[in-house]
Amino acid sequence: TRKTRTKYAQEILVKHGMTSCDGIGTPKATKHLDANLSGTLAQPPEKHLTMVKQIFRYLKDTIHMGLWYPKDTGFELTSFLNSDHAGCLDSRKSTSGGIQFLGGDKLISWSLKKQDCTSMSSAEAEYVSLSASIAISCNPVQHSRIKHIDVRYHSIKEKVEKGIVELFFVETGYQLADLFTKALPVERFQYLVR
């Protein structure tokens, strides 16, 4: 519940001495976030501590926000996915972000993950995250530019061909997954969060 989430967020801020910090209205751009901050818990570098403080400052500013699921929520699943290209400055790996809704507008899941592979192009990075590759998945012709993409990602194409998954291009103005892959102005970020 929203009340439980707010209490939990307050406990985190108290535990880490961040109750009087200034809040920020948008999280730091993913290009500057290491998607795997948990890898150096024993002795985190200063840059990771700074990133975590940014997350706490965002938490402080959005502590009142929460999720609400009315009883009549439908079962239609809608997903928005996007990725950057080589956004991690250390590994040059791309970061994928996704957001899923049930019943059209009820947020049920979101994720941000550094890709396991190093993409050679933005088309490959987005194919891995299942966004701009709609043309590739819906076109039965093999494209020479994507031959090197691992076979496991072509399962998307098979699901499209069988009618299990339906893919649509989403214009930038409506791309909710930009929350995870782009540095957005506060106004744009707050619009997408609503």
The percentage of residues in the chain with a pLDDT greater than 70, rounded to a whole number, is 73
Block residue for tokens 């956004």? 87
Instruction: State both tokens at 14.
Output: 């108290």
HEC profile of 62-121: CCCCCCCCCCCCCCCEEEEEEECCCCCCCCCCCEEEEEEEECCCEEEEEEEEECCCCCCC
pLDDT in tens, 67-89: 777 778 777 778 887 778 777 77
C-alpha 194/C-alpha 178 separation (Å) is 14
The pLDDT tens digits of the residues spanning 84-142 come to: 877 777 787 887 777 888 887 888 777 777 777 777 776 666 665 554 444 444 554 55
pLDDT at 19 over 90: yes
Residues 6+ apart with CB under 8 A from 174: none
What pTM value is reported for the model?
0.48
Q: Which one, of 177, 159, 161, lies nearest residue 169 by Cα? A: 177
Q: Is residue 24 pLDDT above 60, yes or no?
A: yes
Question: Torsion over CA of 110, 125, 155 and 178, rounded to 10 degrees?
Answer: 30
- How high is the pLDDT of residue 11? 92
Least confident of 72-86, 146-160, 165-179: 146-160
Q: What is the C-alpha separation between 125 and 58, in angstroms, rounded?
A: 27
Statement: residue 146 has pLDDT above 70: no
pLDDT tens digit string along 52-62?
Answer: 888 889 889 88
